[in-house]
């Protein structure tokens, strides 16, 4: 392989003691290819199998911890013990190819789709609708509902452990429930769960505690616990980078294995202030990178892109579009075949790329999402 790319394939040991064989992970991406009951499908297994040979870790598509937390049709479920056998197939499929298997766990909150919940009203921190077109006003969660949801994350973690996963990623990003509690837009509460920024952190921290408790009780070997965060949101009032820097200060004290920064572009500046051009990933790396590993993501496609991101000190990088278009991305870097890495999505390549029908239809039909040729 090109010696310039050696940093990409250096192993990395997470705080829990789990070692990743290199610095590249497959980013969590919705594929809407599970069974109707949340079970893992054969097409999904094939899709992950094809992409798990090179990456150090594979973070799955989001899996809901509660039936009322679904945002996508045919997404993975981790809300019932009956789903454990299918989840076990998924973890084994990823691990057999050499990657660590990390299950992303989440609750959609007010972003849940009533159509996927028999018409039920979604729930959230407060009865405030999202500003997205067609959003419904959610039901404010009671104290009992909040505590049940915190327990649901712990139970989801237990199931992930029983299903053989190497870890879980707590999805505290992308406008879903955990972020909704942290956001001053969606959280207008005046009790212990809202108000000051410290109180808006209470729910995310309770989720982390519930997950870590399940790990302590059920995991017999080191188990990864990561947390995904969105640095900002566009709403007013909304999460600012100043809010998030206070949040990651606290997250860095929680003995997490990593913080995964969810942004559109690794080098992108603020979505709230176009004059603020400093990379949000780098701001978080500079703030807490000495205390907890950071995963960067966003628009990285070539080995040069990944190297450049590693050069600024971010230790781990997740590939999304790149690993859909080129499942053998890492292998081609290792085997001196970087010139053969696909950078477009040919309309004839579904079978070669082992992409499930539902995901393929999204990739091909959403204008401007992928470079379809």
pLDDT tens, 209-245? 999 999 999 999 999 999 999 999 999 999 999 999 9
**pLDDT tier for residue 178 given thresholds of 50, 70 and 90:** very high
Class of domain 3-365: alpha beta
Q: Return d(Cα 327, Cα 330) in angstroms, integer.
A: 8
The whole-number average pLDDT for the span 240-261 is 98
**pLDDT tier for residue 105 given thresholds of 50, 70 and 90:** very high
**pLDDT tier for residue 180 given thresholds of 50, 70 and 90:** very high
- Three-state DSSP class for residue 42: helix
**pLDDT tier for residue 66 given thresholds of 50, 70 and 90:** very high
* Portion of the chain with pLDDT greater than 70, in percent: 100
Q: Average pLDDT over the chain, rounded to whole?
A: 97
pLDDT at residue number 351: 98
Q: Return d(Cα 157, Cα 168) in angstroms, integer.
A: 7
pLDDT at residue number 268: 98
**pLDDT tier for residue 149 given thresholds of 50, 70 and 90:** very high
What distance, in Å, lies between the first and last C-alpha atoms of the chain? 29
The whole-number average pLDDT for the span 23-30 is 98
Residue 203, phi then psi, degrees to nearest 5: -65, -50
Q: Return d(Cα 22, Cα 18) in angstroms, integer.
A: 12
**Lowest mean pLDDT across 23-27, 114-118, 281-285:** 114-118
The whole-number average pLDDT for the span 299-324 is 97
**pLDDT tier for residue 33 given thresholds of 50, 70 and 90:** very high
pLDDT at residue number 211: 98
pLDDT at residue number 307: 97
DSSP states of 262-309: --S-TT---SS-TT--S-HHHHHHHHHTTTS-EEEESS--SHHHHHHH
- Three-state DSSP class for residue 161: helix
pTM of the model: 0.98
Give residues with Cβ within 8 angstroms of 68, minimum separation 6: 107, 112, 117, 120, 122, 123
The whole-number average pLDDT for the span 337-351 is 96
pLDDT at residue number 175: 97
**Catalytic residue set:** 176
Tokens of 172: 């505290």
Q: Which residues pair with 373 in a beta bridge?
A: none
Condensed to tens digits (0 to 9), the pLDDT of residues 68-95 reads 999 999 999 999 999 999 999 999 999 9
232 burial (CB, 10 Å; 0-12 / 13-18 / 19+) is: buried
Domain spans in the chain, listed from the N-terminal domain onward: 3-365
């Amino acid at each position: 392989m090109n010696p310039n790319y050696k940093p990409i394939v250096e192993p990395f040991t997470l705080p829990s003691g789990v070692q990743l064989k290199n610095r590249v992970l497959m980013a969590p991406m919705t594929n809407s290819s599970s069974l109707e009951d949340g079970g893992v499908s054969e097409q999904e297994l094939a899709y992950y199998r094809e992409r798990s040979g090179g990456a150090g870790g594979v973070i799955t598509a989001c899996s809901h911890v509660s039936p009322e937390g679904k945002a996508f049709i045919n997404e993975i479920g981790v809300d019932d013990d009956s789903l454990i056998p299918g989840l076990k197939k998924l973890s084994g499929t990823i691990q057999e190819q050499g990657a660590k298997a990390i299950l992303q766990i989440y609750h959609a909150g007010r972003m849940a789709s009533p159509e996927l919940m028999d018409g039920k009203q979604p729930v959230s921190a407060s009865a405030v609708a999202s500003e997205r077109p067609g959003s419904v006003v959610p039901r404010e969660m009671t104290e009992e509902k909040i505590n049940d949801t915190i327990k649901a994350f712990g139970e989801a973690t237990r199931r992930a452990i029983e299903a053989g996963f190497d870890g879980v990623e707590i999805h505290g990003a992308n406008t879903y429930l955990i972020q909704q509690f942290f956001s001053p837009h969606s959280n207008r509460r005046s009790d212990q769960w809202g108000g000051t920024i410290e109180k808006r952190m209470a729910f995310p921290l309770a989720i982390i505690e519930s997950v870590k408790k399940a790990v302590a009780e059920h995991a017999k070997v080191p188990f990864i616990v990561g947390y995904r965060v969105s640095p900002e949101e566009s709403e007013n009032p909304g999460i600012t980078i100043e809010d998030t820097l206070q949040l990651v200060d606290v997250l860095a004290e929680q003995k997490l294995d990593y913080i995964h920064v969810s942004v559109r572009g690794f080098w992108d500046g603020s979505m709230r202030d176009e004059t603020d051009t400093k990379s949000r990933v780098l701001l978080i790396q500079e703030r807490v990178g000495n205390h907890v590993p950071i995963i960067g993501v966003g628009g990285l496609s070539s080995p040069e892109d990944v190297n450049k991101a590693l050069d600024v000190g971010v230790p781990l990088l997740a590939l999304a579009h790149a690993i859909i278009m080129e499942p053998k991305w890492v292998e081609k870097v290792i085997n001196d075949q970087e010139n053969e890495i696909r950078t477009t999505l040919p309309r004839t390549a579904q079978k070669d790329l082992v992409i499930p029908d539902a995901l393929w239809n999204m990739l091909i039909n959403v204008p401007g999402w992928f470079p379809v040729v």
